[in-house]
Amino acid sequence: MVKLKINLFINFESTYIASIKNKLLLSSNSLQTKYRKQISKYEREGFYKILFSRRDVRSHFIKKDIPLTTILRIINAAHHAPSVGYSQPWNFILIKEEQTRMKIKNSFLREHQKAIRLLENNKAKQNKYKSLKLEGILESNLNLCVTYDYTRFAPFIIGKTSIPETGIYSVCCAIQNLWLAARAEEIGMGWVSIISNRELKKILEIPKYIKPIAYLCLGYVSEFSQTPDLEKSKWLKRLALNEIIYLEKWGNQVRKNG
Amino acid sequence: MVKLKINLFINFESTYIASIKNKLLLSSNSLQTKYRKQISKYEREGFYKILFSRRDVRSHFIKKDIPLTTILRIINAAHHAPSVGYSQPWNFILIKEEQTRMKIKNSFLREHQKAIRLLENNKAKQNKYKSLKLEGILESNLNLCVTYDYTRFAPFIIGKTSIPETGIYSVCCAIQNLWLAARAEEIGMGWVSIISNRELKKILEIPKYIKPIAYLCLGYVSEFSQTPDLEKSKWLKRLALNEIIYLEKWGNQVRKNG
């Protein structure tokens, strides 16, 4: 099993140049000429189809390997996210090894227990919370840790001089690109945030100055849910647009009967 | 001018229910059946075309109003981003008024001067920095402030119990959805981060407990640049994929000659 995975990465390394040169850089160089063209109605509709059918996936993972070129394609999509001052402050750690995943899963289990204890005074809510499936660390085909490096191209980063947090915001934009690209490739993705970043850093040997932003689980799925899991389980529902839009200043809400 | 803008928003309010019911909720309900279907090769290619041709836009804005249904469609796209525990902790303040924009622009100018002073010891870099166009606050058709409300559905938010910052990460995912949707609609968008959040909160009457995450400028453009502005001006270049990908743990880089 471990052997197979090592082979996968040897394979990864040897196919690296070919895949990069033939499929990836293409998208940011020569294909750009094509990309300057207008977006057609069909392209726009396809885009919205991908955007609206993206889900935070924790189940329905099937046993099917993600080809390496596909992995690189979605990471390349992430890498084409906007970043403050073009600082590209992200790294992506690909995790296949089961031993590593078990350690991460144990961290999840500990943090999950802590969360359960927070609901001690609301047994109904606590039971509902306990019934929810909140991660797919072991069942998914690939785990991916996305990190933030505040030293990248430092010290002077354009646009980061007034609001330093924008570096982290860039990494989140990359994660959303990655999420949508995964959906475009029929790959489900879930974000596991019930986890200890301190433990995560130790397990993945992440240095002190690097901040883990997301721990993601990816894999092909048997289906994408029609509605978000937490809506389906009646935990919360989607807000109406008029509840979140203001005009000209905070609190100036759109009247429903205008 | 101000009259026209007020009319725009009266119009906004009266078209609100119609546009929501006919165009927006459709995308998250009945069209979902359609969206469960597989993504075709053409849809995927259209998606990547949008993703790779998205730019951080600061110039080339043209004088053309964004229709209200289009504004709502891209905010609806943002609203369909993933959020920790389905908390949807975002708000969107639409800004058309010139007076407000002038105040924001002044805040930019002050912060910009501060940034210039940081390069006092590197005149060449300072001159290059000064030559860059870094915002389109007044020239764009619409300004948009995206904020984070940490109290939304609080106190118990699933997935936020171990890493509270995930609430902010959700807002950033929404911003990236919005950015891509704008590109899909042929609308350019730029993120202005050289700004004082303290001043921004005062100008837009944002309460203490709300955190502004992004100040965005949107508008139709005469062109989308082939490469990012900061690459074109040779400020920085895009990193190679092997520089940002690690295998199994931090630092374990893909060898180029594997």
Q: What is the pLDDT of residue A254?
A: 75
Q: What is the pLDDT of residue A36?
A: 56
Which of B 25-64 lie inside 8 A of A, CB atoms?
27-28, 31-36, 38-40, 42-54, 56
Which fold would CATH assign to domain B56-225? Answer: NADH Oxidase (3.40.109)
Q: Does domain A55-231 sit in CATH 3.30.450.20? A: no
What are the residues facing A94 on neighbouring strands? A144, B247
Distance separating alpha carbons of residues B40 and B37, to the nearest angstrom: 9
Contacts of A159 in chain B (CB under 8 A): 134, 191, 193-194
Q: Which residue is associated with the tokens 């509902």?
A: A128
Query: With contacts defined as CB-CB under 8 Å, which chain A residues touch B224?
Result: 36
Mean pLDDT by 10 residues, chain A (258 residues): 41 44 45 65 96 96 96 97 98 98 98 98 97 97 98 97 98 98 98 98 98 98 93 94 96 71
* CA–CA distance, A237 with A216 (Å, rounded to integer): 24
Please state the three-class secondary structure of A193-205 as a single string: CCCCHHHHHHHCC
Per-residue model confidence as pLDDT tens digits over B157-190: 999 999 999 999 999 999 999 999 999 999 999 9
CB B95 within 8 A of CB B142: yes
Using 70 as the pLDDT threshold, list the residues of chain B that sit under it.
1-36, 255-258
End-to-end CA distance of chain B: 63
Alpha helices in chain A (DSSP H): 2-19, 25-28, 30-35, 41-53, 68-79, 98-118, 123-131, 166-184, 197-203, 229-232
Chain B CB within 8 Å of residue A138 CB: no
State whether B250 and A33 contact (CB < 8 Å).
Answer: no
Q: Which residue blocks in chain B are alpha helix, DSSP H?
A: 2-19, 25-28, 31-35, 41-53, 68-79, 98-118, 123-131, 166-184, 197-203, 229-232
Cβ-proximal residues to B66 (8 Å cutoff; 6+ apart), any chain: B141, B142, B187, B218, B219, B220
Whether residues B72 and A241 touch (CB distance < 8 A) is answered with yes
Give B248's contacts in chain A (Cβ within 8 Å): 9, 93-97, 100
Q: Give B104 to chain A, closest Cα distance, Å.
A: 12
DSSP string covering A36-83: TSPPPHHHHHHHHHHHHH--B--S-B-S-PPPHHHHHHHHHHHHTS--
Residue type, B206: I
pLDDT at position A103, please? Answer: 98
- pLDDT given at position A115: 98
ipTM score of complex: 0.90
- Residue B39: how many other CB atoms lie within 10 Å: 19
A13 with B255: Cβ contact below 8 A: yes
Q: Which residues contact B199 (CB under 8 A, 6 or more apart)?
A: B103, B107
pLDDT of residue B200: 98
Q: A69 touching B, CB under 8 A?
A: no
Are the CB atoms for B234 and A190 separated by under 8 Å? no
- Using the beta-carbon criterion (under 8 Å), do A248 and B93 form an inter-chain contact? yes
pTM of the model: 0.90
